[in-house]
Amino acid sequence: MSELVRFGVSIDHGLLDQFDKQIARKGYKNRSEAIRDLIRDHMVEQEWEANTETVGTFTMVYDHHTRDLSLTLTHLQHSFVGEICSVLHVHLDHNNCLEVLVLKGKAQLLQSLADKLVSVRGVKHGKLTMTTTGEAMPSGPGDHSHAHSDDGHSHS
């Protein structure tokens, strides 16, 4: 583990007051952890903007009765086989499916896959969550590029 460093910050009293109230509501016990999380969040954004090798998840809900939807989604996912590490599918109710894709690859490529998926007719909601290991990740295709499977998944 790396060495901890203490540093002082000058900040407007009112702003700090607001910050303290907000982090207390979120359950932080002290400012240090809240500030560390803010910095990490900022670094994730920077990584994604720099189009580096990164990881994320895409969550979507769709009505599988929509004409050609399942076919379109499967086709799209097969076009990004190097970026999709894993797919989780849950049949929510008679109509709705929830799907979570674990993604790894160049940030802009992952963003473009998310944009394509969310704009498919019948996809009710979709959201890309960006995350990071905090370290530079090896580039190249993932080790799990064959994890996608439709086995046992069929809709009437």
Residues 6+ apart with CB under 8 A from 128: 56, 57, 58, 110, 111, 114
Report, in Å, the least distance between residue 6 CB and Ni ion: 51
Residue 64 CB, nearest distance to Ni ion (Å)? 5
Least distance from Ni ion to the Cβ atom of residue 96, Å: 8
- Identify which of residues 57 and 70 has a Cβ nearer to Ni ion in the complex: 70
Could you list the residues that contact Ni ion (CB under 5 A)? 91, 97
Specify the residue, 44 or 97, whose C-beta has the smaller distance to Ni ion: 97
Residue whose CB is less far from Ni ion, 60 or 107: 60
Nearer to Ni ion, 31 or 91 (CB): 91
CB of 154 to Ni ion, least distance (A): 9
